[in-house]
Structure 1
Amino acid sequence: MSLKVKLDNVKSLLLENRHLKQTVFKNTFWLTVSNIATRFIKAVLIIYAARALGVAGYGVFSYAVTLSGFLAIFSDLGLGPILTREGAKHPDKIKVFLGTALFIKLALVIFTVILTISVGPLISKIPETISLLPLAALLLAFDSFRDFSSSLSRFREKMQIDAAINAVTYAAVTVLGLIAIIIEPTPISLMIGYTAGSGVGAVFSIWVFREYFHRFWSFFDKTLVREIFGNAWLFALMGLMGGIMISTDTIMLGWLKNATEVGYYSAAQRPVQIFYILPSILATSIFPALSKFALQDRGKFRLVLENSIKILFMFACPLVAGGFILSAEITALLFGQSYLPAAPMFSLLIFTLLMVFPGTVIANAVFASNAQKNFLGFLAVGALSNALFNYLLIPQWGGVGASMATIIAQVLANGLIWWKMKKIADFRMLAHIQKIIFATIIMSLAVLLFQFWGVNIILNIVLAGGIYFLFLYALKEPLLDKSFVLSIFR
């Protein structure tokens, strides 16, 4: 086979929609590449910025970005998912639907920008943040339009376009952000670079889909407005509850403490949030299989669910154990000695992997089983408990209290999701992860021993990871058998 033929085959596999199985693989590939690449590109900027700005300066920037992200919920209200769904169902009517949805989107963005500038100063208790709010409002608008544009690539099942948009956006954010803080290492300088990079991404996304945006107002149909809001309300409420879960800690730390505490907490969150990529990728990849087996074969549905959760526990357990033991060393390695007070927060937040990893897959299984009507209530329990325990714990414990509140909220929300799925599929887990638990214990002992001997942190992580998988192999863990894993998802 010639090189040209091989390249054509790769191009066809990764850039074209030929049939269902290949399209799912292609979209999963690009989703994985996009998520991993953009998170790590952004991490370069965040880690450098945290060191350059200092704890308080980084806290000011993080608070402004978090506030912008939270208020951005009101600029979408479920329009993106509805556009994806309706575009896939009725591609012939997409221009009219898009024209109407975009008109609504524009109105919502204008409203949210005004809300950010006018109400933001009342929400923020950190004086230095107020000068960043106009830029935060602009960032909100750019991000909102870029996310809306990405919905077009999703309904067309062309995630390679979404990946390209994300790559351009976060490359621009990182480059312009680094230039800004090299010139002047201040929160407002970083915010200018960050917002400018987001603007590049928004303009690029609109240019990519320019055929859909051209004279969009001429396709506006006022009779669709009520239908769109009627279909979007559930997505809007889920987005609101999810936003509260994600943003409450930082916002309430700003209210009840100060920018320095926000800086420590934001640093502790960053590596944990990067790990959250793993379950989201797997959950997205197996959702078509879960949806099919939920209707056709409940036994196969349970098998896929159990082994997917087991795969995630295989990664979550060593990450939690190693992260907890090496929390101080990891914090110092990434952010410097001045961020060591963030280590106790990181050592607590890393435990959320044990809830979030399986919870993400189980939530998708709930949706695949068409039992999502309970999901909003579970999110509400998590969001409200997070706010309550933040209020109770932050005044005395600061970022450590916020970390404890997050764990409690995750246990409640994901525990309810787990309970609901148990009623549907009666899946079992403890008996399947005994080898993983044993290998994690051995690995933890090795980490402690290497730590006692003063082994370099990076070498410690590499050696411990090798010991973990070596013991899994010795215990004949079936998940290390490629043929076994492939047989699960056939």
Structure 2
Amino acid sequence: MALGQPQAKPERLRTSLISQVGSQVFRLAVSIGIGGWTARYLGPEQLGTLSYVAALVGVLSPLGSLGVKGSLAILLCEEPPRPGLVATAFWIELVGTAVIALVLVPFAWAARDPVLAGLMGLAVLGNLFSSAEVFEVELLNRQQGTRVAKARLAETVAGAGASIVALLSRAPLVAFGGVQTVAMVAQAVVLTGFANGYRLSTTLREVSWPTAHVLLKRGWPLLLAGLSVMLYVKSDQVMLEWLRGPEDVGQYSVAVKAAESLYFLPVILTATFLPRIGRGSGDFHTSSALRRLYRSAWTLGVGMALTTSEVLSPLIPVVFGSEFHAAQDAMIWLGLASFAVSTGTASSSWLQRAGLEKVSAARTAAGCVANILLNLTLIPRYGFHGAAIATCISYGLATFAVMAVWSEETRANVLKLAFPFQLGGQDDR
């Protein structure tokens, strides 16, 4: 399973990036079309219930991954690679997902609603198949982004097909909970096939306990970071359900869906650059890859902010229906948050390269706490608009504030992140 580390060829990097972006653009187009149709069919209240379950499971999902996906990405850059690295990460995620299923049992019981229980069960099943995403990390490390794009295409097509069947048959709400499960099954099948045809029995034999120890040791700060991220990405919808009801959840979920439709861009950008940064010096002045990443992420963040507030906002009532007109007002704040998302995603790669996963955990935990406190203050008074304001402020704090006060090293780096176009390297002419 261990493979030699490929050399980072610029043309291969470019092809990998373009193919992934192309796949996600197609996915975005399908998501907008199918998502709008689904929203019109379900209406704000039923859509709010569906979104609430997805948010609740999303909040818990980092506990299933145990941070191994992030630690795997950086450990794959080491020479020589550790034995059984990918197989061990895969089985850690499988076991973690089983634990999530147990955690959700009290929520399903407390709801006393068979529809909610069914939606939660289907969501957990989808998370189980998402464990195959560790193979995506390996493929990206091998600069085979085209294969990753094909897996995401399979996920998109399968999910769209399942949605269309549910919509045309006028299926009940619980059927829409299975759409994401079908999509994740399709992605898992394709990823497993591309990643040397892994089988459960084969991967189990290759599990290495010493490797598991290293993965978990490097991954626990990323687990905390991921949990914090999901808390302040998804807790808004959970808290809206508890404090205001499914109607507000439905409105907010549409605004978030539109804003987050662009979030794949910084993720792909960073994942594509990570192998080169991992093998570089990690210094802004001497690493051309890090400079290119920071500058690209900064420019992308500005573009995402403008696109969200000026382009996507007017499209909400057109795509999702006039019932969701109120969701437009939240897009200004969610657009401003996009800049912090883009730059924050890029800086995470430097933190991993520098072995500062604890800083990742600290800054996202700080953002999470700020978001929850702001939600408690703003949601009762402003509803989902307050949730959008809380998201914007907390993203900014998470991306810049903690790094600015943590140490001299992180403070210097966050200045480069905020002002990446200053002269800083040999290629700046």
Q: Are 1:363 and 1:417, in contact at CA under 8 Å, matched by a contact in 2?
A: no
Q: Are 1:132 and 1:191, in contact at CA under 8 Å, matched by a contact in 2?
A: yes
Helix, strand or coil: the match of 1:89? coil
Q: Distance in 2 between matches of 1:316 and 1:261?
A: 25
How far has the Cα of 1:307 moved from its partner? 4.3
Q: Structure 1's 425 and 399: CA in aligned 2 closer, same or farther, altered over 3 A?
A: closer
Question: Pick from 168, 179, 186: which aligns with 1:182?
Answer: 168
How far has the Cα of 1:155 moved from its partner? 3.3
Instruction: Give 2:387's aligned residue.
Output: 402
Q: Are 1:150 and 1:162, in contact at CA under 8 Å, matched by a contact in 2?
A: yes
Q: Are 1:252 and 1:390, in contact at CA under 8 Å, matched by a contact in 2?
A: yes
2:216 corresponds to 1:229 = yes
Instruction: Give 2:369's aligned residue.
Output: 384
How far has the Cα of 1:169 moved from its partner? 0.9
Question: Pick from 336, 354, 361: which aligns with 1:351?
Answer: 336
Larger Rg, first or second structure (1 or 2)? 1
Instruction: Give 2:360's aligned residue.
Output: 375
2:57 corresponds to 1:31 = no
Amino acid in the other structure paired with 1:45: I
Deviation track 1:192-241 (CA, whole Å, cap 9, x = no partner) reads 23322322222333333364325322233444443332232122222112
How far has the Cα of 1:338 moved from its partner? 0.9
Instruction: Give 1:256's aligned residue.
Output: 243
Question: Pick from 121, 135, 152: which aligns with 1:149?
Answer: 135
How far has the Cα of 1:266 moved from its partner? 0.3
Pairing of 1:315-326 with structure 2 (within 5 A): 315-316=303-304, 318-319=306-307, 322=310
Q: Are 1:310 and 1:432, in contact at CA under 8 Å, matched by a contact in 2?
A: no
Amino acid in the other structure paired with 1:384: V
Instruction: Give 1:448's aligned residue.
Output: none
Q: What's the TM-score, normalizing by structure 1?
A: 0.74
How far has the Cα of 1:367 moved from its partner? 4.9
Instruction: Give 2:63's aligned residue.
Output: 74
Q: Distance in 2 between matches of 1:92 and 1:355?
A: 33
Instruction: Report sequence identity in percent.
Output: 20
Q: Distance in 1 between matches of 2:255 and 2:271?
A: 26
Deviation track 1:447-477 (CA, whole Å, cap 9, x = no partner) reads xxxxxxxxxxxxxxxxxxxxxxxxxxxxxxx
Q: Structure 1's 91 and 41: CA in aligned 2 closer, same or farther, altered over 3 A?
A: farther
Gaps of 5+ in 1: 1-16, 434-486
How far has the Cα of 1:141 moved from its partner? 1.2
Pairing of 1:225-304 with structure 2 (within 5 A): 225-284=212-271, 292=280, 294-295=282-283, 297=285, 304=292
Helix, strand or coil: the match of 1:157? coil
Q: Structure 1's 126 and 241: CA in aligned 2 closer, same or farther, altered over 3 A?
A: farther
Q: Are 1:52 and 1:185, in contact at CA under 8 Å, matched by a contact in 2?
A: no
Query: Whose relative contact order is higher, 1 or 2, with alpha carbons under 8 Å and at least 6 apart?
Result: 2
Amino acid in the other structure paired with 2:399: N
168-177 or 354-363, larger mean C-alpha shift: 354-363
How far has the Cα of 1:146 moved from its partner? 2.9
Instruction: Give 1:220's aligned residue.
Output: 207
Amino acid in the other structure paired with 1:26: T
Deviation track 1:433-453 (CA, whole Å, cap 9, x = no partner) reads 9xxxxxxxxxxxxxxxxxxxx
Q: Are 1:57 and 1:263, in contact at CA under 8 Å, matched by a contact in 2?
A: yes
Q: Distance in 1 between matches of 2:136 and 2:48?
A: 30
Question: Pick from 308, 311, 317: which aligns with 1:332?
Answer: 317
Amino acid in the other structure paired with 1:75: G
Q: Are 2:298 and 2:339, in contact at CA under 8 Å, matched by a contact in 1?
A: no
Q: Are 1:308 and 1:361, in contact at CA under 8 Å, matched by a contact in 2?
A: no
Q: Are 1:304 and 1:489, in contact at CA under 8 Å, matched by a contact in 2?
A: no
Q: Structure 1's 301 and 260: CA in aligned 2 closer, same or farther, altered over 3 A?
A: same
Q: Structure 1's 70 and 247: CA in aligned 2 closer, same or farther, altered over 3 A?
A: same
Instruction: Give 1:50's aligned residue.
Output: 39
How far has the Cα of 1:290 moved from its partner? 6.4
Q: Distance in 2 between matches of 1:208 and 1:303?
A: 32
Q: Distance in 2 between matches of 1:83 and 1:371?
A: 15
2:125 corresponds to 1:138 = yes
Helix, strand or coil: the match of 1:184? coil
Instruction: Give 1:14's aligned residue.
Output: none
Instruction: Give 1:200's aligned residue.
Output: 186
Gaps of 5+ in 2: 1-5
Q: Are 1:63 and 1:129, in contact at CA under 8 Å, matched by a contact in 2?
A: no
How far has the Cα of 1:381 moved from its partner? 0.8
How far has the Cα of 1:91 moved from its partner? 6.6
Q: Structure 1's 429 and 60: CA in aligned 2 closer, same or farther, altered over 3 A?
A: closer
30-39 or 68-77, larger mean C-alpha shift: 30-39
Q: What is the CA RMSD across the aligned residues, in angstroms? A: 3.5
Whichever structure has more helix as a proportion of its residues is 1
The number of aligned residues is 415
Q: Are 1:332 and 1:340, in contact at CA under 8 Å, matched by a contact in 2?
A: yes
